[in-house]
Amino acid sequence: PRRPRAGKARCWRGSGSNGMNVLLIIVDDLRPVLGCYGDKLVKSPNIDQLASQSMVFSNAYAQQAVCAPSRVSFLTGRRPDTTRLYDFYSYWRVHAGNYSTMPQYFKENGYMTLSVGKVFHPGISSNYNDDYPYSWSIPPFHPSAEKHENDKTCRGKDGKLYANLVCPVDVTEMPGGTLPDIQSTEEAVRLLNVMKTNRQKFFLAVGYHKPHIPLRYPQEFLKLYPLENITLAPDPWVPKKLPSVAYNPWTDIRQRDDVKVLNVSFPYGALPDDFQRQIRQSYYAAVSYLDVQVGLLLNALDNVGLSNNTIVVFTADHGWSLGEHGEWAKYSNFDVATRVPLMFYVPGMTTSPVSQGARVFPYLDPFSHIGVSAPQGQSKKVVELVSLFPTIAELAGLQVPPACPEMSFGVVLCTEGSSIVHYFNVSERMLEEGKEGYDSTDRCFKEEPFAFSQYPRPADTPQWNSDKPKLKDIRIMGYSMRTIDYRYTVWVQFDPNNFSANFEDVHAGELYMMESDPNQDYNIYYNTSHGQFFKKILDFLKH
């Protein structure tokens, strides 16, 4: 029988990009405050230019809003309940299963795999060596300036040096006269030149630190954001019906020198309005500093003549609250903490064919560039970072790793995400209509896509370790489901000894309807019947 077709969706087969290089850019703590995502204040011309040649996903979500668990999840293609990493203190190959990673898969398929900056979270969670030699062909590069990130390098009004949250600096005064992301860009550009000479297929992952705290960036970027143009969050208060278990008390921010002196009461005391504006101003400035690094990196891809055969993927490990719900930092299940930018540049697919040596990414100066380029293609489909591994594999023409069976601790290569390449060609008209399309095997799928995130807590009320509980201290897990229409979260009893969640012991719940409550301020869980949502979460976790 003839297959039904989806509108005028062009069908695409992986062969077109066989043998393409991959440049994966991962940013630390970047929520989608970018021009290409509709932010009117930010100056991000280089990332916007990448978006103008890319497929951009406007509803992409991390699996856990903290660095190590999120990164291990999307680099292995497994969810935190399968990596068993909810904190920073275990290595999945020892603690959960010997799972292959995305770079390892490319390495085993003949690619030179290279890591620059923060790709895996450093430390125990990547075996103190960024999972080398399994994942990488040569030892990963870490910028030497990284060790000074938390030193007292921020000059106060009194001329003394502090370890501040808000930390614009004169780069010439910094140790070594540089900053980590500047060094990472230089190394990535050097490697691109080496790869051009070698003529070997490569998978290059570049991890940028900013806008992770401290907000330490070259001070000239402040000029882009006069304080009088900076507003508070639209909802800078703790919502009345927010369960106490859901609140993250932003303890890491409180430990910075400039926040300590404000003596804000724990856990719900608000930061002074003028200081909230300064944090928001510095976050934006750090994003523009990051944009310059991305611009220099992509310009180098042009310079070595590889923009015509390199897939570029740009994303972040999770978002960051900027005062919404009276919260700062990540560590929650809200969109502001879980939602990330996600875009894919695939020459000849998201663009018309690119001739060799073409200038696709001329460097744009955020201080002089005016105007925002619109994304080449945009999908509102809800997608997850756990799908990165199969998606990038398919785009590169590799065999897509199989879906994981129900119990996959003993399975070396499989993925709990699914490739989202089938969303690339679906026309915008169909996306508007919402719920149907065709997946890569041309099965019709009618189920509503959703993203699944989770966050652990040590107790029902905010504690000093609520943001980052160690595994042994976790007592509650908040499982959260985000569809285009709602976010539904249940906080249930969790036993860290056998990694089990007890859905018969629900401590609290949240339900936000996106159409009427886009900022997730009005929790209607307690005055709505939500049995069907609860069943969805249970069904999902059982399979």
Catalytic annotation, residues: 67, 121
From the DSSP assignment, how many helices (H) and strands (E) are in the chain? 13, 19
Instruction: Say which residue the tokens 């990196």 belong to.
Output: 297
Q: How many other CB atoms are there within 10 angstroms of residue 366's CB atom? A: 18
Q: Under a CB-based contact definition with an 8 Å cutoff, are residues 207 and 110 in contact?
A: no
Tell me the C-alpha distance between 385 and 208, whole Å. Answer: 17
Q: Under a CB-based contact definition with an 8 Å cutoff, are residues 285 and 222 in contact?
A: yes
Q: Which of 386, 357, 380, 362 is nearest to 435 (CA)?
A: 380
Q: Under a CB-based contact definition with an 8 Å cutoff, are residues 225 and 41 in contact?
A: yes
Q: Which of 261, 263, 281 is nearest to 162 (CA)?
A: 261
Q: Is 384 exposed, middle or buried (0-12, 13-18, 19+ CB in 10 A)?
A: buried
Sign (positive or negative) of CA dihedral 56, 62, 67, 73: negative
Sign (positive or negative) of CA dihedral 29, 34, 40, 42: positive
Q: Would you call 438 helix, strand, or coil by DSSP?
A: strand
Q: Under a CB-based contact definition with an 8 Å cutoff, are residues 499 and 215 in contact?
A: no
DSSP class of residue 402? P
486-524 b/e (C-beta count within 10 Å ≥ 16 → b): bbbbbbbebebeebebeeeeebbbbbbebeebebbbebb
Tell me the C-alpha distance between 465 and 474, whole Å. Answer: 10
Q: Would you call 49 helix, strand, or coil by DSSP?
A: helix
CA distance readout (Å), 318 to 97, 409, 498 = 24, 25, 27
Token pair in block for residue 113: 């795999």
Token pair in block for residue 116: 């620059």
Instruction: Say which residue the tokens 């490569």 belong to.
Output: 202
Instruction: Say which residue the tokens 């601790």 belong to.
Output: 409
Distant-in-sequence, close-in-space partners of 259: CB < 8 Å, separation ≥ 6: 165, 253, 271, 275
Instruction: Say which residue the tokens 């011309």 belong to.
Output: 45
Q: What is 266-282 written as a DSSP string?
A: TTTPPPPHHHHHHHHHH
